[in-house]
């Protein structure tokens, strides 16, 4: 009901309208008895007619009228006149905070002063058991003398039990001491996650809203937004604010405060607004913790504030000493301490490697530019773990399962990584990761100071560039395939200032021999590129003025002019035995801007395993074979021999184990062969090689006699054989296409032997295996968003059947063709199969648990089934009996590098 000017509501005379919202219309009115102007809010007629609701409202108003604080707009009383119910409030002159933000950026001191007064108002109310529940810039007034007044403490009880759909900026104001669960109240853009879910809330909902308001003052944009209310609510529940939008002038202590206020789990959120008041007072007075990259971390929060299962090598006592040393080293103004070395050793639950041996083709360790955060990939679910360098504890980044290749933002506030075919980022302080774009099979990424990320999305092709806020990626570099045979640009890193990127150029001959790859540097503005006069892989810049790179697991440094983008001296060896992969060229080391080195030593890269049988009763029995770093494995058709790949450092070869005689015989001697597959008659073995003559598929007699024969080579860096057709006429393998990711190809074993694609789509397909009757092919694909097992007819055409439903890989047929096995997480699953007259499969059921293993999952050889279908071959790794994974850290390593350089060391 709109009131005309001069209308009387009791003793109050309407002067002019001030605004309207979900809780009614607001007017300037004159108190004719006391001679003062007031704000008069007329409640909606539906509320006024509800006697029970109005009774509750009046009781609530009496409590709220007791609030007496200079930063809270006072409530004078209630008025009932002519069927109108009105709330009489203090009239506050001046713009709202929303209007002030709209006019332009707030200086830091002004924003902090406003935030301090808001915090003082909330603290006063919270101490009296009153929460606001709809704190937002539109409910905060700024007077001409710099005073802040928080409006609308007091209306939630009037809405209790009812929900209404509102515009984002005009949702009802809500205040109450307690609200029933299931009632969704509050302005959408400033709701806490628990409010958005309709759960009971307390004063921590106000702390969340305070964080949203504080963020908006600094960033001039809402922390959470969407096209609709539903989109905004979804953003609150799942997304993170765009932290890079905060100006660099925002002090680190205030950034930490913001992140604590905006923790989605209220248990991990700032617990009292008084803590915010103290932090802001210190920032305004200059007594806060000093800023800058050398500043100590404040209290760690959210999911990283609890101890995990990491265990330092030297034990808790010595670990505490090291943590103290790191904290002293990182403190502001500290002089350079002596060079200090220490190691972290890990044993993860379930016998899993914490340093990522199964993922040796990807980076598994990173250190933040400020040297304060160590990141690594591993654990049972291959997650990213973060460990502050001055703490004894680490914690997994939630939502980072199946991660590879971690990297940090320049301000050390974000961790980027790849997982499930996506490039992702997550705040180091908590919250769910954000997906930025597609990246099927990555080869590294780097985060530039302009808030863009340059990355290699695939095994083939050039580098791409994408905003750290997300969006469509654009090309950054293009390999010259026609003239120079370049297949891939990979392992990029921004040079200081973000004006250029250094990266590796990969050709077909580089697979297995990346120590001789070309290294290039390309300008960001002109895209002008040039080859540097060094050979190696994984280039990384050191603040000492050197470019670091690797050759065969050894680290070299060469003087480098970052402005002219030129090598200015000769390479010198600086570190031996760093874990590397000849297949991809990755070398696991990183140096922070502050001179901290973290790396994985090579001698911890390949824990030994044992061969075991697992039966259908989940019983495990050891096979009397020597302990080795076994990779892929497959049983011969007659069940008497095993074809195995065995790793030794960076090398891998194919071996044959004779089960009856217990003998292990080496089949290949080039140290670059893996993924063995038996021929149907058991007389030959096909395998993949990465020897220097070029990658490809070879076959050799299983007894070692005769020469090797190339079957497919030269067109791809990866060609992994997975299955021979029962009649011996086709060999299935998977490869990586430039535009299509992993594809399944068929190689005819007779006639012209011209390979042809079987499945080549925009999704990743791999692990193809022929059924025993040769009429079907089982394989895995990520077309549903995660890898699942499918079956299609061979040679086709025909439909397809999805076999797994909760993730699946590594399909293997029973020899009788009536059963199909696959792995889902840590379980071996089975479906009963019918193939005549058409295909049919039962619901998957568990057969046995998969033993903990570190097998390299190339090909289809993660496990195999015996000819009688009663036993399953696995490689089991027991880290309790082997060396744990280890990350070595060197503090002040830049000083050591300077000493080596001054000594004039030569390669």
Catalytic residues: 134
Cβ(231)–Cβ(219) below 8 Å: no
Cβ(529)–Cβ(520) below 8 Å: yes
Strand order in the sheet with 403-408: 403-408, 414-419, 422-427, 434-438
Token look-up 């039966």 returns 615
| Cα-based distances in Å from 641 to 432, 464, 625, 810 | 47, 46, 12, 20
d(CA 432, CA 679): 47
Which ranges in 68-134 belong to alpha helices (H)? 97-103, 108-126
d(CA 665, CA 333): 61
Quote the crossing angle between the two packed helices 108-126 and 273-285, to the nearest 10°: 150
d(CA 317, CA 182): 48
Q: CB-hemisphere CA count at 13 Å for 170?
A: 11
Cβ(651)–Cβ(605) below 8 Å: no
Cβ(217)–Cβ(115) below 8 Å: yes
Q: Which tokens sit at 98?
A: 């929303």
CA 338 distance to own-chain centroid:
35
Tell me if residue 437 falls in helix, strand or coil.
strand
Quote the crossing angle between the two packed helices 273-285 and 252-261, to the nearest 10°: 170
Q: Going by C-beta distance under 8 Å and a sequence separation of 6 or more, which residues neighbour residue 402?
A: 381, 382, 419, 420
Cβ(311)–Cβ(349) below 8 Å: no
Token look-up 């998969």 returns 850
Nearest to 43 by CA among 76, 91, 87: 87
Q: Is 180 exposed, middle or buried (0-12, 13-18, 19+ CB in 10 A)?
A: exposed
Tell me if residue 348 falls in helix, strand or coil.
coil
Q: What is the largest CA-CA distance in the chain?
A: 112
Q: Which tokens sit at 482?
A: 């026609």
Nearest to 214 by CA among 244, 258, 253, 153: 258
d(CA 782, CA 764): 6
d(CA 408, CA 410): 6
Q: Going by C-beta distance under 8 Å and a sequence separation of 6 or more, which residues neighbour residue 375?
A: 365, 366, 367, 368, 384, 385, 386, 387, 406, 408, 415
φ, ψ at 382 (rounded to 5°): 50, 65
**Phi-psi category of 137—alpha, beta or left, where left has phi over 0 and alpha has psi -120 to 50?**
alpha
d(CA 576, CA 565): 26
Tell me if residue 684 falls in helix, strand or coil.
strand
Nearest to 470 by CA among 430, 439, 425: 425
Cβ(186)–Cβ(197) below 8 Å: no
Reduced 3-state DSSP string for 29-56: EEECCCCEEEEEEECCHHHHCCHHHHHH
d(CA 125, CA 156): 15
């Amino acid at each position: 009901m709109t009131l005309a000017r001069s209308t009387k509501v009791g003793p109050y005379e309407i002067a002019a309208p001030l605004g309207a919202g979900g809780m009614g219309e607001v007017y300037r009115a004159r108190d004719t008895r006391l001679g003062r102007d007031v704000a008069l809010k007329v409640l909606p007629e539906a509320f006024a007619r509800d006697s029970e609701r109005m009774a509750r409202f009046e009781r609530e108003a009496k409590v709220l009228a007791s609030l007496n604080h200079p930063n809270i707009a006072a409530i004078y009383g209630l008025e009932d006149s002519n069927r109108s119910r009105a709330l009489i409030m203090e009239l506050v002159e001046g713009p709202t905070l929303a209007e002030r933000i709209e006019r332009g950026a707030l200086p830091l001191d002004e924003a902090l002063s406003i935030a301090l007064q808001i915090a003082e108002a909330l603290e006063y109310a919270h101490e009296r058991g009153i929460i606001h529940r709809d704190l937002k810039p539109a409910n905060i007034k700024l007077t001409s003398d710099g005073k802040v007044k928080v409006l609308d403490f007091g209306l939630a009880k009037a809405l209790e039990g009812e929900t209404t759909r509102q515009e984002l900026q005009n949702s009802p104001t809500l205040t109450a001491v307690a609200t029933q669960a299931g009632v969704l109240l509050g302005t959408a853009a400033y709701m806490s996650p628990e409010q958005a879910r309709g759960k009971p809330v307390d004063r921590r909902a106000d702390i969340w809203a305070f964080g949203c308001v504080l963020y908006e003052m600094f960033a001039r944009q809402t922390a959470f937004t969407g096209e609709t209310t539903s989109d905004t609510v979804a953003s609150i529940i799942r997304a993170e604010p765009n932290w890079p939008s905060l100006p660099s002038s925002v002090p680190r202590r205030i950034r930490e405060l913001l992140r604590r206020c905006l923790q989605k789990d209220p248990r991990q959120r700032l617990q009292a607004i008084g803590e915010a008041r103290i932090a802001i007072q210190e920032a305004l007075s200059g007594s806060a913790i000093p800023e800058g990259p050398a500043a100590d971390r404040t209290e760690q929060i959210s999911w990283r504030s609890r101890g995990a299962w990491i265990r330092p090598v030297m034990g808790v006592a010595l670990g505490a000493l090291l943590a103290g040393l790191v904290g002293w080293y990182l403190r502001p103004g500290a002089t350079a301490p002596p060079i200090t070395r220490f190691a972290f050793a890990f044993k993860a639950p379930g016998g899993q490697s914490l340093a990522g041996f199964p993922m040796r083709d990807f980076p598994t360790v990173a250190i933040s530019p400020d040297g304060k955060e160590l990141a690594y990939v591993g654990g049972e679910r291959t997650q990213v773990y973060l460990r502050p360098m001055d703490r004894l504890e680490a914690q997994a980044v939630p939502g980072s399962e199946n991660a590879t290749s971690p990297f940090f933002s320049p301000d050390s506030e974000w961790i980027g990584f790849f997982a499930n075919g996506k490039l992702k980022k997550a705040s180091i302080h908590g919250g769910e990761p954000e997906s930025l774009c597609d990246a099927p099979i990555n080869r590294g990424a780097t985060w530039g100071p302009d808030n863009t990320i340059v990355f290699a999305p695939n095994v083939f092709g050039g580098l791409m560039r994408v905003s750290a806020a997300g969006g469509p990626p654009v090309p950054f570099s293009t390999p010259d395939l026609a003239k120079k045979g370049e297949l891939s640009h990979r392992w990029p890193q921004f040079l200081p200032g973000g004006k250029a990127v250094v990266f590796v150029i990969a050709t077909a001959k580089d697979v297995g021999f990346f120590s001789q790859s070309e290294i290039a540097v390309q300008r960001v503005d002109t895209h002008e590129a040039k080859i540097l006069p060094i050979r190696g892989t994984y280039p990384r810049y050191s603040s000492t003025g050197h470019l670091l790179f690797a050759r065969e697991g050894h680290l070299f440094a060469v003087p480098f002019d970052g402005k002219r983008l030129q090598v200015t001296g000769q390479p010198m060896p600086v570190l031996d035995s760093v874990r590397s992969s000849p297949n991809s060229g990755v070398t696991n080391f990183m140096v922070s801007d502050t001179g901290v080195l973290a790396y994985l030593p090579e001698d911890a890269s390949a824990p030994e395993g044992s061969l075991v049988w697992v039966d259908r009763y989940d019983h495990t029995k050891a096979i009397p074979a020597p302990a080795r770093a076994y990779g892929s494995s497959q049983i011969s058709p007659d069940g008497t021999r095993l074809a195995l790949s065995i790793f030794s450092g960076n090398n891998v070869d194919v071996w044959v184990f004779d089960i009856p005689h217990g003998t292990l015989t080496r089949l290949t001697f080039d140290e670059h062969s893996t993924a063995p597959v038996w021929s149907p008659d058991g007389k030959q073995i096909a395998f993949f090689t990465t020897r220097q003559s070029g990658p490809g598929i070879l076959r050799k007699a299983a007894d070692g006699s005769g020469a090797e024969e190339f079957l497919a080579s030269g067109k791809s860096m990866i060609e992994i054989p997975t299955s021979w057709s029962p009649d011996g006429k086709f060999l299935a393998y998977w490869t990586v296409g430039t535009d299509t990711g992993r594809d399944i190809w068929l190689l005819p074993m007779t006639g012209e032997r011209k390979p042809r694609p079987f499945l080549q789509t925009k999704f990743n397909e791999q692990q193809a295996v022929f059924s025993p009757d040769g009429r079907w092919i089982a394989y895995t694909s990520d077309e549903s968003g995660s890898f699942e097992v499918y079956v299609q007819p061979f040679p086709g055409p025909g439909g397809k059947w999805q076999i797994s439903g909760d993730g699946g890989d590594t399909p293997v047929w029973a020899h009788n063709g009536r059963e199909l096995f696959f792995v889902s997480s840590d379980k071996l699953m089975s479906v009963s199969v019918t193939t005549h007259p058409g295909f049919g499969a039962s619901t998957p059921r568990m057969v046995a648990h998969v033993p903990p293993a570190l097998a390299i999952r190339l090909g289809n050889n993660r496990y195999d089934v015996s000819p009688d279908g009663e036993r399953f071959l696995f490689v089991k790794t027991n880290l309790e009996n082997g060396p744990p994974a280890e990350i070595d850290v060197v503090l002040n390593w830049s000083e050591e590098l300077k000493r080596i350089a001054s000594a004039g060391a030569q390669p």
